[in-house]
Structure formats: structure tokens, C-alpha cells
Amino acid sequence: MKHAEDDRFIRFNNQLKEGEDYYMENGYRVMKSEFLIRRGYCCGNGCRHCPYMPRHLKGNRTRTD
């Protein structure tokens, strides 16, 4: 059975553009800081280019710049 959450995940992934929003490294997507800023909050997943301070605090909206 398919859940509505699955559809949101698919729509979100189809909107991402390689090179603009992320780059690939060892089979993983590395999200770029420009995308993370547009998203508007920290996901808390330890993104390499997290622009929020303190880093990796889920829901944080305080940017470093």
C-alpha cells in the first residue's frame, strides 16, 4: 500500500537539480549550502555544508552569514 508521504518524497526528489542543489559523492547526494538556505531550516542530519549555527540542530533557523 502506498502512503501519501511516499508521493511527497518522490515529488521532492524530482525537483532537485544536480549541480545546482546538490552534487554526487561516492553515491551520496551532498546538499549545497544554497539549497539548504532556500529550504529555510536545519534538518539535523549533519549536512556537510550546513549554513546554520549551531550546526546540525534540527529546526534551527539561525544562519552563520
Q: Can you tell me the distance from the alpha carbon of 22 to that of 61, in angstroms, rounded to the nearest whole number?
A: 20
Question: Which residue range(s) make up the domain with 55?
Answer: 1-65
Q: Which of 54, 30, 34, 32 is nearest to 42 (CA)?
A: 54
pTM: 0.77
Q: Give the single-character DSSP code of 44.
A: S
pLDDT number for residue 3: 57
pLDDT number for residue 25: 96
pLDDT number for residue 14: 80
Cα radius of gyration (the chain): 13
pLDDT number for residue 28: 92
Enumerate residue ranges in the chain where pLDDT < 50: none
Q: What total number of domains does the chain contain? A: 1
